[in-house]
Amino acid sequence: MREGMMGEGPTREGTKARIETVAVHAGVHVDPGTGAVTQAIHPSTTFERDPDGSYPRGFMYARNSNPNRQALEECLAALEGGAGAAAFASASAATSAIFLVLSPGDHVVAPTDAYHGTLRLLRETFARWGLGTSFVDMTNVAAVRGAIRTNTRLVWVETPSNPLWKITDIAAIGEIARRAGALYVCDNTTATPVLQSPLELGADLVLHATTKYLGGHGDVLGGVVVSRTRDEVFEGIRAIQASGGAVPSPFDCWLVRRGIRTLPYRVRAHSEHALHVATFLHEHPRVEQVHYPGLPTHAAHDVARRQMKAFGGMVSVQVRGDRERALDVAAKLRLFTRATSFGGTESLVEHRASIEGAGTRTPENLLRLSIGLEHPDDLIDDLGRALS
Ligand SMILES: *Cc1c(COP(=O)(O)O)cnc(C)c1O
């Protein structure tokens, strides 16, 4: 595979490469100088000019771009089927860059249950900056339509959403955003490009916390914005990336790119294991309710089936009992580590109400599970023992 080939759609045979192939090859090529098959890490902050002052290799200064970030961005754009990608030091930095392309006085429509860091940016930082936001239940299409104003410039969705894994109909909300002439952004972190393609369903931009499944090993923080077209908005985000400077290090880029090589296989296993665990919990007498879009009892199971290839690795469970009972079950688990975040190879459990603090609307008896790559029967044994 040659550079650029995967990012530009059709392969030599004229067929579009499948995601497993893209995950292995996009942005990767044998180093012409050394023959190295795996890309080297380039810590250099600066790059040589030609005598005429030009930079024929395309690199000048590492904040603007560098070989590891370029390889990662090519790969991320190809995975989502976008025209370009901009990588950041975290998804929160990527989210800020999207809001910064708007102007004070603009209006945003965002979900009540967006990632808590996104909510905090809108409620605190960007509210002070002059951005107005209406927070709505994205599963209620009429409510979204009713929230649109003449100055609405951006509609934000996140699906499945944390921690109840509610499903937003990406195409339906996209139609509302399109009619309003608003930028349409989908946080695709939980589903990953393996399970869901928001750009094909009408999104202009896709956001990822590469910290989660794309990195996949709980050892690197990162974020990315992928754009359907190389338009003014994308160029604006690129400018904020370079001038704001919230960029990932070459080593961070290299780690995320390495994680992506196995992404399709990991996500398939996470999804399969999560469905096993969710089904087990759903039938357990000491469980009140299970939240997982793969269960036929989920309120939007049909929408999930339509827009997702499988249902992902995140499951929430409300145990029978109160906060103390939930904390007790979490304490008895051996394979699940009590920690925040998700998307790594190891299973994690989190009492969401505790981390969200005062004013949380998350039920006190809810535990959020990030289902890892351990054998699902071992996870089920662990959960059964902790619940008994
Ligand atoms: C973790 C997460 C983020 C933020 O990611 P950071 O890299 O920690 O800034 C944003 N959106 C979703 C859905 C997340 O899970």
pLDDT digits 0-9 by tens, 97-147: 999 999 999 999 999 999 999 999 999 999 999 999 999 999 999 999 999
Give the nearest ligand 1 atom to 95 CA.
Answer: 10
Rounded to whole angstroms, the Cα distance separating 228 from 313 reads 26
Tell me: the pLDDT tens digits for 271-320? Answer: 999 999 999 999 999 999 999 999 999 999 999 999 999 999 999 999 99
212 is catalytic: yes
For ligand 1, whether the C-beta of 211 sits within 6 Å is yes
More confident residue, 4 or 264: 264
Give the up-direction half-sphere exposure of residue 126: CA atoms within 13 A in the CB hemisphere: 27
For range 1-5, the mean pLDDT: 39
Tell me: the pLDDT tens digits for 216-237? Answer: 999 999 999 999 999 999 999 9
pTM: 0.95
The answer, yes or no, to whether any atom of ligand 1 lies below 6 A from the CB of 277, is no
The residue type found at 58 is G
Residue 5 has pLDDT above 80, yes or no: no
Cα end-to-end span (Å), the chain:
53
From 187, 204, 252, 382, the catalytic residue: 187
Please report which confidence band the pLDDT of residue 356 belongs to, taking 50, 70 and 90 as the band edges: confident
On average, the pLDDT of the chain sits at: 95
Q: CATH 3.40.640.10 in the chain: give the residue spans.
A: 19-260
- Quote the crossing angle between the two packed helices 67-80 and 250-260, to the nearest 10°: 30
The CB of 189 under 6 Å from ligand 1? The reply is yes
Task: Answer whether 188 contacts ligand 1 (Cβ < 6 A).
Answer: no
Question: What distance in angstroms lies between residue 76's CA and the mean position of ligand 1's atoms?
Answer: 16
Atom 2 in ligand 1: residue holding the nearest Cα:
209
- The alpha carbon of 81 and the centre of ligand 1 are apart by a number of angstroms equal to 21
Q: Is 221 in the pocket of ligand 1 (CB under 6 A)?
A: yes
N residues, the chain:
388
Q: Is 187 a catalytic residue?
A: yes
Q: Is the CB of 197 under 6 A from ligand 1?
A: no
pLDDT in tens, 245-269: 999 999 999 999 999 999 999 999 9
Q: Over pLDDT 90: what percentage of the chain?
A: 94
Query: Which residue shows structure tokens 């294991």?
Result: 273
What the block records as the tokens of 337 is 């580590």
The answer on pLDDT for 14 being more than 80 is no
| pLDDT number for residue 82 | 98
Yes or no: say if 154 and 108 are a contact pair by the CB < 8 Å rule. yes
The token pair at 134 is: 């209406």
- Is residue 328 flagged as an active site residue? no
Please report which confidence band the pLDDT of residue 359 belongs to, taking 50, 70 and 90 as the band edges: confident
Query: Cβ(226)–Cβ(199) under 8 Å?
Result: yes
Whether the pLDDT of residue 3 is over 90: the answer is: no
Predicted confidence (pLDDT) at residue 2 exceeds the cutoff of 60: no
- Topology of the domain covering 263-387: Aspartate Aminotransferase, domain 1 (3.90.1150)
Confidence of residue 10 (pLDDT cuts 50, 70, 90): very low
Structure tokens at 321: 């009992």
Owner of token pair 């196995």: 262
Q: What is the mean pLDDT of residues 59-64?
A: 97
CA distance 120 to 133: 12
Question: Positive or negative, the Cα torsion across 40, 245, 134, 148?
Answer: negative
382, 336 in Cβ contact below 8 A? yes
Q: How far is the CA of 33 from the centre of ligand 1 (A)?
A: 37
How many angstroms separate the most distant Cα atoms in the chain?
A: 75
Task: Please indicate whether residue 161, judged by its CB atom, sits closer than 6 Å to ligand 1.
Answer: no
Spatial separation of the C-alpha atoms in residues 342 and 373, rounded to whole Å: 12
Class of domain 19-260: alpha beta
Catalytic residue among 153, 166, 212, 266: 212
| Active-site annotation holds for 63 | yes
Give me the catalytic one of 115, 184, 213, 292: 115
**CB contact set of 239 (below 8 Å; sequence gap of 6+):** none
Reported as a single tens digit per residue, the pLDDT across 161-189 is 999 999 999 999 999 999 999 999 999 99
Among residues 173, 195, 185, 197, the alpha carbon closest in space to that of 118 is found at 185
CATH 3.90.1150.10 positions along the chain are: 263-387
pLDDT band, residue 238 (cuts 50/70/90):
very high
Which ligand 1 atom minimizes the distance to the CA of 118? Answer: 10
